[in-house]
Amino acid sequence: EKKIGENSEITADLVRGGFPYLEQKIRECRNCALSETVTNKVISKGSNSPKVVFIGEAPGKNEDETGIPFCGRAGKLLDKFIEYMGLKDDEWAVINTLKCRPPANRTPTKKEIETCRPFMETQLELMKPKIIILLGNTAEKAYGEKLEWGESKIDESGTHIVKIFHPAALIYQRSREAEQYAYLDKYRYLWEEES
């Protein structure tokens, strides 16, 4: 399986064009059938040069309606994590593995993740975060690094990768919330370090 950083030609072209070109390409994209049923493509929120990037799964109903990632119930919980982490407004960004909402919020297929991956790869290339926080299994799959819950590693580009629970999963399993905050405490030194 390919890892992030092993740039395809598509990604290299997108990186050369910068954010406006990337956005245009995402909005024009018809590379899979998901594009036929969406209201809005959902690209990112937060800083263009963040210290920390959170990677979610895919847009849900609210995100599809507004074009803004994590603007619903799961987003409220993610906001709580960001506040708990003590990140300033210019220190974080939120993106998804898919830019289109899967019908009825089903889990993205492997094919959809692969098709959409150059967009995520390009976002990461342009944002150059120090830390990437994978929110759940889909983000882990898309990023291509195997991690346990609450585990971290440094990838080939020197970026710290951390895998934590997806906030939507915690809505249904509130008992795991303490574990999530323990992970955030454990890695606090990463984002609190002076850069």
Q: Which residues bind ligand URA (CB under 6 A)?
A: 56-60, 63, 69-70, 74, 96, 168
Shortest approach of ligand URA to residue 71 CB, angstroms? Answer: 7
Shortest approach of ligand URA to residue 96 CB, angstroms? Answer: 5
Provide the 3-class DSSP secondary structure of residue 28. Answer: helix
Shortest approach of ligand URA to residue 72 CB, angstroms? Answer: 6
> Which two structure tokens, joined as six digits, stand for 59?
């847009």
CA distances 174 to 33, 166, 168, 181, Å, are 34, 12, 10, 12
Of 109 and 157, which CB lies nearer to ligand URA in the complex structure?
A: 109
> Which two structure tokens, joined as six digits, stand for 108?
């993205």
Q: Could you tell me where the DSSP H helices lie in 43-192?
A: 61-66, 73-85, 110-127, 137-143, 167-172, 177-186, 188-192
Of 13 and 177, which CB lies nearer to ligand URA in the complex structure?
A: 177
Of 127 and 168, which CB lies nearer to ligand URA in the complex structure?
A: 168
Of 17 and 67, which CB lies nearer to ligand URA in the complex structure?
A: 67
Evaluate whether 140 touches 3 at the Cβ level (below 8 Å). no
Q: What's the CA gap between 49 and 92, in Å, rounded?
A: 8
